[in-house]
C-alpha cells in the first residue's frame, strides 16, 4: 500500500482515499479519490519515469482517433516508482455491436506515413518488441515479433525438439500468406482481450491498457478469439462496418499463435499444448 509521503507527491491533492483495484498482472493499480474527483493510478515499483511512455503514446493515439479511453492526467516518478495517473471511467453495460463498430472506427485510422510500427516500443514483463518502423507487415509481425518470441521460448526450454522443428514450417506458411495479402497499417489496440475493453456507465464502449501499434487490423481480431468474451454481435457489426479481406479465417490463426506464444513465454508450459496445436494448424493451412 502506498504511504502518505508517497501520495502527497501526486499532482492531485488532497488525497482522501486510495483503494487497490485490479490492474492486470503488470502494474499495481488504485482508485484514488482526491480533490473531490476519482482517478485511476498505475504504479510500477522501482522503474524509471519513462516506463509508461508506450501507454501514454497509445492513449494519445486513441484520443487523436476519437476513441473513448482514459485520459492521461499525470505521470513521472515518485520515490523511485513510475506512476501514471488517468481519468477514471465508471463501468457499466453496453452493446457488443457498438464495441464492434468502435473497433472498425479505430482500424480506419491509418498510419501517418504508411509504415508499420509505432513511436514507442512494446514493453512487456517477459518480452519486449522494438516496434521499429518498417515497410511491410511481414517484417513487423514475423521478424520483430514471432521470431523473437520463438527465441525466448527456446531459451527458456519451453519447446520440445519436435515443437521447435515445427516453427520454421509454420513461419514459412505465414510469410507466404502475408506476401499475398495486402496489409494496410492502421491503429491497433495491440492486446485486445476482453479485459482491455469496457462499457461506461452510460453504455459507451471504451478501450483501456493499450499496446498500440500500426499494423494489420486482423491482428486485433485474431487476439479477440483466443480467450473469448466477444459475442457474435461484435463480429457481425465489425464485418458490416469494415469487411475482412478474403482468406481472413486462415490468417486469424497466425495471430492466435502469436498471442498464445506470448502467454507460453510469460506463464510457462501450461500453454505449450495450445501453441503446439496451433503450429500444426498453421502448417496444415487451416
Render pLDDT for 166-176 as a digit per residue (tens, 0 to 9). 999 999 999 99
What is the rounded distance in angstroms from the CA atom of residue 150 to the CA atom of residue 142?
Answer: 10
Q: Is the alpha carbon torsion for 12, 18, 24, 27 positive or negative?
A: positive
Q: Give the pLDDT mean for 113-137.
A: 93
Q: Give the pLDDT mean for 146-173.
A: 95
What is the rounded distance in angstroms from the CA atom of residue 286 to the CA atom of residue 272?
Answer: 19
Q: Please determine, for residue 123, whether its predicted confidence score (pLDDT) is greater than 90.
A: no
Residues with catalytic roles: 191
Q: When comparing pLDDT for 23 and 63, which is higher?
A: 63
Residue 286 binned pLDDT confidence (cut-offs 50, 70, 90): confident
Residue 27 binned pLDDT confidence (cut-offs 50, 70, 90): confident
Peptide bond between residue 14 and the one before it cis (omega within 30 degrees of 0): yes
pLDDT given at position 23? 61
Single pTM value for the model? 0.94
In angstroms, what CA-CA distances link 188 with 175, 184, 207? 20, 11, 11
In angstroms, what CA-CA distances link 73 with 40, 42, 60, 86, 123? 10, 12, 12, 5, 21
Strands 197-199 and 28-34, sheet pairing: unpaired
Cell numbers describing residue 122: 512494446
Q: Give the pLDDT mean for 236-247.
A: 97
The domain limits of the chain are 4-87, 96-283
For residues 183 and 85, the answer to whether their CB atoms sit within 8 Å is no
Residue that the C-alpha cell 498453421 belongs to: 282
Q: Please determine, for residue 25, whether its predicted confidence score (pLDDT) is greater than 80.
A: no
Average pLDDT over all residues of the chain:
95
For residues 37 and 50, the answer to whether their CB atoms sit within 8 Å is no
Within this chain, domains 4-87 and 96-283 share the same CATH topology: no
Which range, of 17-26, 41-50, 186-195, averages the lowest pLDDT?
17-26
pLDDT given at position 277? 96
Helices 147-155 and 248-267: crossing angle in degrees, nearest 10, is: 30
CATH of domain 96-283: 3.90.1200.10
In angstroms, what CA-CA distances link 204 with 90, 97, 102, 118, 197? 11, 11, 10, 27, 11
User: Which span out of 17-31, 42-56, 192-206 was modeled with the highest average pLDDT?
Assistant: 192-206
Q: Give the pLDDT mean for 64-91.
A: 96
For residues 220 and 107, the answer to whether their CB atoms sit within 8 Å is yes
pLDDT given at position 148? 96
Q: Which helix (H) or strand (E) holds 265?
A: helix 248-267
What is the rounded distance in angstroms from the CA atom of residue 83 to the CA atom of residue 45?
Answer: 8
Q: Give the pLDDT mean for 243-262.
A: 96
Helices 96-106 and 232-241: crossing angle in degrees, nearest 10, is: 40
Residue 124 binned pLDDT confidence (cut-offs 50, 70, 90): confident
- The answer regarding whether domain 4-87 maps to CATH 3.50.50.60 reads no
Cell numbers describing residue 120: 514507442
Q: Give the pLDDT mean for 207-235.
A: 97
What is the rounded distance in angstroms from the CA atom of residue 201 to the CA atom of residue 38?
Answer: 14
Map residue 110 onto helix, strand or coil: strand
What is the rounded distance in angstroms from the CA atom of residue 88 to the CA atom of residue 161?
Answer: 48
pLDDT given at position 283? 97
Q: Give the pLDDT mean for 90-101.
A: 97
Residue 22 binned pLDDT confidence (cut-offs 50, 70, 90): confident
pLDDT given at position 26? 72
Amino acid at each position: 500500500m502506498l504511504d502518505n509521503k508517497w501520495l502527497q507527491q501526486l499532482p492531485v491533492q488532497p488525497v482522501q482515499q486510495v483503494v487497490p483495484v485490479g490492474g492486470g498482472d503488470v502494474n499495481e493499480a488504485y482508485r484514488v479519490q482526491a480533490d473531490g474527483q476519482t482517478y485511476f493510478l498505475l504504479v510500477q515499483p522501482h522503474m524509471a519515469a519513462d516506463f509508461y511512455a508506450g501507454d501514454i503514446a497509445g492513449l494519445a493515439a486513441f484520443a487523436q482517433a476519437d476513441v473513448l479511453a482514459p485520459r492521461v492526467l499525470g505521470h513521472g516518478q515518485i520515490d523511485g516508482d513510475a506512476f501514471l495517473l488517468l481519468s477514471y471511467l465508471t463501468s457499466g453495460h453496453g452493446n457488443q455491436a457498438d464495441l464492434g463498430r468502435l473497433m472498425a472506427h479505430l482500424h480506419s485510422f491509418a498510419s501517418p506515413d504508411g509504415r508499420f510500427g509505432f513511436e514507442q516500443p512494446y514493453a512487456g514483463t517477459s518480452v519486449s518488441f522494438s516496434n521499429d518502423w518498417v515497410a511491410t507487415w511481414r517484417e513487423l509481425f514475423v521478424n520483430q515479433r514471432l521470431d523473437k518470441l520463438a527465441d525466448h521460448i527456446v531459451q527458456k526450454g519451453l519447446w520440445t525438439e519436435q515443437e521447435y522443428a515445427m516453427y520454421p514450417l509454420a513461419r514459412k506458411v505465414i510469410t507466404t500468406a502475408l506476401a499475398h495479402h495486402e496489409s494496410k497499417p492502421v491503429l491497433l489496440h495491440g492486446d485486445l482481450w476482453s479485459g482491455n475493453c469496457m462499457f461506461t456507465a452510460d453504455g459507451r464502449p471504451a478501450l483501456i491498457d493499450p499496446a498500440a501499434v500500426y499494423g494489420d487490423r486482423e491482428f486485433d481480431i485474431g487476439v479477440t478469439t483466443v480467450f473469448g468474451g466477444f459475442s457474435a454481435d461484435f463480429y457481425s457489426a465489425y464485418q458490416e462496418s469494415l469487411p475482412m479481406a478474403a482468406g481472413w479465417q486462415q490468417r486469424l490463426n497466425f495471430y492466435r499463435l502469436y498471442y498464445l506464444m506470448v502467454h507460453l513465454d510469460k506463464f510457462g508450459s501450461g500453454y505449450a499444448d495450445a501453441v503446439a496445436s496451433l503450429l500444426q494448424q498453421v502448417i496444415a493451412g487451416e
